[in-house]
Amino acid sequence: MFIVCGKTDIRRGIDSLTYIVKKSFNLDPFSGCVFLFCGSRRDRFKALYWDGQGFWLLYKRFENGKPAWPNNEDEVRVLTSQSNQTQVL
């Protein structure tokens, strides 16, 4: 799993988000990893995932409150016991 720090224009779709993954971070969006993006309001998130047949683009909007989202690598904290595979972009 990769967390894209800072804000991303959450209006972007699959093609634009895969472009960010490839060009900005030199990663393969077809790798089977999950890429997490956060909008500027910090209450909207998208997850991009390739399952071998196509992309999943998941969208989450929080109605009450805003979860903390890192602006940079120094602000990243452990989320779960499985997050040792999470990398920060």
Q: Quick: pLDDT tens for 7-60.
A: 999 999 999 999 999 998 899 999 999 999 999 888 999 999 999 999 999 999
Write out the two tokens for 79.
């989320």
Q: Are 48 and 56 in contact (CB under 8 A)?
A: yes
**pTM of the full predicted structure?**
0.78
Q: Quick: pLDDT tens for 47-70.
A: 999 999 999 999 999 888 777 777
Strands ordered across the beta sheet of 2-3: 55-61, 44-50, 34-38, 2-3, 87-88
